[in-house]
Structure 1
Amino acid sequence: MTAAVEFQSVSRHFGSGPNAVKAVDAVDLTIAEGSFFAMLGPSGSGKTTCLRLISGFEQPSAGAIRIFGQDVSAIPPNRRNVNTVFQDYALFPHMNVRDNVAYGLMVKGTPRALRHAKAEEMLHLVQLGGYGDRKPGQLSGGQRQRVALARALVNEPRVLLLDEPLGALDLKLREAMQDELKSLQQRLGITFVFVTHDQHEALSMADSLAVFNQGKIAQIGSPEDIYAKPRTRFVADFVGSSNILPPALTQALGGPAQWASLRPEHTRLAATGPLTGTVTALRYLGAATRVVLKSGDTEIAALVPAGDPLPDPGSTAAIAFAPQHLHLMEDK
């Protein structure tokens, strides 16, 4: 099967010489057709630049970008079979919802009746049937996000690019829209490429994801693999919450002298255990309390289910875990 999107040693540098900014640095990437793919990373990690390279709004300094096997390096954005949903939605405030959705078809010269019919079809798809005559200012944030989504889909792109589209929504609405986006992608069967700095969004929606750091991909794989088997300290720390144990401590626990990751949910407080320390903090999380211990120079956290007894701050406590949950990582 031909990949929907393929990067071959793609770089995007800004400036020249020793002061050049390597926004994207020799990235290799393959995105499967029909998948929900997430690009996850902190600000400045290169993920949004990669999205702009796919859309054509940025040109690579080196390497090749292919969309369904076609080298698109010299193809302008309006001739690529992709469309983008932006974080700020970029709706025209003077147009009603129907005309906003139909705008791309109008630019293509589609007759008015046909483009309005297609716009209404898209509005029903995103559960906004009957909203066509309203202006964007009369809609909630979630509704405006759906209008932007309908506008991107009306041109029937083979790849839909989403640039942190849920960032402006409150938590409850953002979680609801995550479910809707995933459901919509599965119904349409087109490739979604989703950029976010929110690990929960990436883990809950993506079939596969790439974790970016300093212009490079730190790790790529399924959400389950990246969470359970982080390759580096950066990935372990950025994706979820993890106890990162230095080589000397890993060796003292019976393993090799390597950095290791131990997720707090795989630990428990015990009368005795391989890890002991002084309780420095109790952080209530609702369903559990995060208990933080200081062992030498290392902080170690365990999750205690709601209702279970908690140690007192300043007391000595032990943490136990199953050996298979201690995951060894590269020295980075």
Structure 2
Amino acid sequence: MTPAVTFTNVTRHFGTVRAVDAVDLTIAEGSFFAMLGPSGSGKTTCLRLISGFEQPNAGSIRIFGEDVSRTPPNRRNVNTVFQDYALFPHMNVRDNVAYGLMVKGVGRSARYAKAEEMLALVKLDAYGDRKPGQLSGGQRQRVALARALVNEPKVLLLDEPLGALDLKLREAMQDELKALQQRLGITFVFVTHDQGEALSMADSLAVFNNGRIAQIGTPAEIYGQPRTRFVADFVGSSNVLPPALTQTLGGPARWSSLRPEALRLTAPQEAPLAGPVTSLRYLGSGTRVTVAAKGADIGVFLPAGHPVPATGDYTGIGFAPGALHVMDEA
């Protein structure tokens, strides 16, 4: 099967800044792929390179096998949903959705019929006559999705489209986006700085840092087997241990990672790590306990209902042998 998107040694620089630095990337057809990273890591520039809003200084970009490195945006079979949705405020919802078909010269009745079909797909079929200003944030996001999908793109690009929504609505839209992608079967490329969004929605993801891909894999691989300190620190919450401490715990002299939820509090004399509790942080679903052990602050997540020690208590920390993940990074 031909990949939906392929980057081969792609570089994009702005003056002396290498926003994207020799990136190789393959995105499978029909997948939900996430690009995750902090601001300035290169993820959004990669999305703009796929859309054609930016051109590479070096390397090649292929969409379903066709080299589009110098192809203008309007000749690529992709569409973009932007963070601010970019809806036309003077047009009603139906005309906003049908706009791309109007530009293509599709007749009024045909484009309206297609627009209504897309509005039904995103559960807004009763909202065609309203203006964007009369809609909630979640509804405007759905209109932007319908407008992008009406042109039947082979790749849909989503540039942090949930960033402006409140937490509950964002979580609901995550479920809706994933369900929509599975129903349509087209390739979604989703840019976000939110680890929870990437891990919960994507089939696979790339973690970006300083214009390069630090790691690519499934959510389980990225979370459970980080290759570098950056990935361990950035994706979720982790205890990143230096080589000397890793060695005392039975591993090689390399950096390692211990996820807080993989740890348990136990009697000090039975534990490989022990020390005083220095802080408690209530999180609703549980409590994060910080223990000063062997020169490091070790975070332990206790699910709700578990006994919580007091600050200053001396406790041990235990874990199963497989919980200690030794990273590739020397």
What are structure 2's unaligned runs of at least 5 residues?
Answer: none
- The CA deviation at 1:296 is 4.1
User: Is 1:231 aligned with 2:200?
Assistant: no
1:36 and 2:36 equivalent? no
User: What does residue 136 of structure 1 align with?
Assistant: 132
- Equivalent residue, structure 2, for 1:14: 14
C-alpha displacement of 1:128: 0.2
Q: 2:317 aligns with which of 291, 316, 319?
A: 319
Question: Counterparts of 1:225 and 1:104 in 2: how far apart (Å)?
Answer: 39
Deviations 1:280-314 (A, max 9, x none): 11011112111001224311011122232222212
The answer to whether structure 1 residue 291 and structure 2 residue 289 are counterparts is yes
Aligned-residue offset at 1:185? 0.4
In the other structure, the counterpart of 1:113 is 109
Q: 1:101-250 maps to which residues of 2 (within 5 A)?
A: 101-250=97-246
Q: Aligned partners of 2:211, 2:275: CA distance in 1, in Å?
A: 38
308-317 or 117-126, which deviates more: 308-317
Q: Extract structure 1 runs of 4+ deviating beyond 4 A.
A: none
Tell me how far 1:315 sits from its aligned partner. Answer: 2.3
The aligned residue for residue 267 of structure 2 is 271
SS in 2 for 1:289: strand
SS in structure 1 opposite 2:173? helix
**Aligned pair partner of 1:87 in 83, 92, 100:** 83
* Aligned mates of 1:112, 1:162 — CA distance in 2: 28
Over the matched positions of the two proteins, sequence identity in percent amounts to: 78
Measured in 2, the distance between the counterparts of 1:277 and 1:51 equals: 46
Give the equivalent residue in structure 1 for 2:326. Answer: 328
Contact 2:227 2:329 survives alignment (8 Å) = no
Deviations 1:19-58 (A, max 9, x none): x001000000000000000000000000000000000000
Q: Distance in 2 between matches of 1:244 and 1:308?
A: 24
Counterpart for residue 5 of structure 1: 5
Q: CA deviation at 1:276?
A: 1.1
Give the SS at the match of 2:33: strand
- TM-score after normalising by structure 2: 0.98
- Between the two proteins, the alignment pairs up a number of residues equal to 328
SS of 2:183's equivalent in the other structure is helix
Superposed CA RMSD in Å reads: 0.8
Q: Report how far residue 254 of structure 1 moved.
A: 1.3
| Distance in structure 2 (CA, Å) of the matches to 1:247 and 1:75 | 48
Task: Say if 2:290 and 2:300, in contact at 8 Å, map to a contact too.
Answer: yes
| Aligned counterparts of 1:101 and 1:141: Cα–Cα separation in 2 | 16
- Name the TM-score, length of structure 1 as normaliser: 0.97
AA aligned to 2:179 is: S
| Cα contact 1:233–1:330 (8 A) shared by 2 | no
SS of structure 2 residue aligned to 1:87: coil
